[in-house]
Amino acid sequence: MTLLDVDFEFRYPPSTGSGEAGREGASVACRWRDPVGEPRVTVFLGASGSGKTTVLRCLAGLERPQRGHVRFGDHVWFDAERRVHLPPDRRDVGVLFQEYALFPHLTVAQNIAFGARHLTHAAVAARVGELLDTFRLRGLEGRRPRQLSGGQQQRVALARAVFRVPKLLLLDEPLSAVDRPTGDELREELRSLIRALAIPAYIVSHDRVDALTLADRTVLIDGGRIIQSGTTQEVFDHPASAAAARLVGVDTILLGRIAAVEDGLARIIVAGREVRAQAPAEAGHEAALCIRAEDVALARHDVTDSSVMNRWRATIVTETMEGPFVRVGLDCGFRLSALVTRDAWRRLALKPGDDAWAIVKAATIRSLPRN
């Protein structure tokens, strides 16, 4: 099995006025080994300035670390001791740049075919045609990038990156260039395209929604270091540190399987419990559910005569004062966080160890499709 073996340290150079100000002396160090035989998607999640883009640039060969190595199977891409540093054009990686970096002087078809080497005209035309179909760009091949919408630009950039079928796909903040509603749409599209391509992908993002919807594995980056990595489920369920918890968000994120969909409402099974929420996909698919603590209400007894769809029996685990509120940690079979007023908490007279009911309106749950 092909293995991506990464272990390097990159130190930012003294300021050269090239937009890296404030990073002198900082470094990015990472170390991981990944089997890349199967087309998995890994998301590097980190705040801006955490060094996640630098990791990607070191993989692509756009930056040269000072120490360590990067090996892809038998190929040595970088080895500081042996003074090996393959330039990007000899690494066979496909890169999707932030804001796409399409060539403004070339047409859509010319952009897509930019990577063509040693191919006949007919072979290039055939491959371009194939990609135009896959990426739904038919009819746009003669346009210039500035005549395209954000979504079309993203598809052109991706088609261009995979023209030569790279060994790895590297995506730098693929959704940061567009506004939120468009971003949600593009994310959907990106998800299905990446799946269809079946090339191992590394995605850099500051948005946990990207990890939740796209990633098989999530790697958390903070201060130039990997602070946690694992399956997306593990990482979001059990952030190992305060910094990790900040990145994945303190509120509840549940991953489950859609058991049934009826009138747009889904029954989603999470850790054996049933959650009702707006259906993000067809039955049988996976879903990620985001529940904000302020949307979770507590009751001593089951409330059967209300409109609320989600009522779960829970055990109180923790209570933390937060100003006028109390943050209550619950165990419903999955972990759940509730934010209630101090007044209400006093009236309920509950304490850790007690049993209670957690109540969540289906409409307040943000449900996202997952692979």
Partner 1 sequence: MDWVAIGLTVKLAALTTLVLAIVGLPLAYWLATTRRRWRAVVDAAVAVPLLLPPTVLGFYVLMSTGPNTAVGRLYERLFDATLPFSFTGILLASVLYNLPFAVRPFASGFASVDRRLIEAARCLGASGPRTFLTVVLPLSWPAVLAGLVLAFAHTVGEFGVVLMVGGNIPGVTRTIALAIYDDVQALDYAPANEASALLVVFAVAVLGVTYSLQRRALPL
Stretch that binds partner 1, among 101-109, 211-219, 285-293, 296-304 (CB under 8 A): 101-109
Q: What's the CA gap between 145 and 160, in Å, rounded?
A: 12
| Measured distance CA(169)–CA(273) in Å, rounded | 37
Residue (159 or 332) nearer to partner 1, CB: 159
Tokens 């409409």 belong to residue: 363
Nearer CB in complex with partner 1: 203/248: 203
Q: Is 99 in the site for partner 1 (CB under 8 A)?
A: yes
User: Which of 70, 104, 102, 105 has its CA nearest to residue 88?
Assistant: 70
**Stretch binding partner 1 (CB under 8 A), from 30-38, 68-76, 91-99, 344-352:** 91-99
| Burial label, 240 (beta-carbon count in 10 A; 0-12, 13-18, 19+) | middle
The burial class, CB within 10 Å (0-12 / 13-18 / 19+), for 180 is: exposed
Q: Least separation, in Å, of the C-beta of 116 and partner 1? A: 9
Instruction: Report if residue 121 touches partner 1, rule: CB under 8 A.
Output: no
Interface residue with partner 1 among 1, 18, 22, 263 (CB under 8 A) is: 18
Q: Determine the Cα–Cα distance for residues 89 and 278; give it in Å rounded to an integer.
A: 45
Q: Does 13 bind partner 1 (CB under 8 A)?
A: yes
Instruction: Let me know: does 28 contact 224? Beta carbons within 8 Å.
Output: yes
CB of residue 115 to partner 1, shortest distance in Å: 4
Q: Can you state the angle between helices 180-197 and 150-161, rounded to 10 degrees?
A: 20
What letter would DSSP give residue 103? -
| Contact between 22 and partner 1 per CB under 8 A | no
Binding flag, residue 11, partner 1 (CB under 8 A)? no
How far lies 163's CA from each of 114, 175, 221, in Å?
8, 21, 30
Supply the minimum distance, in Å, between the C-beta of residue 203 and partner 1: 16
Give 163-213 as a DSSP string: TT--SEEEEESTTTTS-HHHHHHHHHHHHHHHHHHT--EEEEES-HHHHHH
- Contacts with partner 1, 126-165, as mask; x by CB under 8 A: ------------------x-x-------------xx-xx-
- Distance of closest approach, residue 60 Cβ to partner 1, in angstroms: 6
167 binds partner 1 (CB under 8 A): no
Residue number with CB closer to partner 1 (167 or 311): 167
- Choose which of 46, 65, 68, 94 interacts with partner 1 (CB under 8 A): 94
* Site residues (vs partner 1, CB under 8 A): 13, 16, 18, 60-62, 87-89, 92-95, 97-99, 101-105, 114-115, 117, 144, 146, 160-161, 163-164
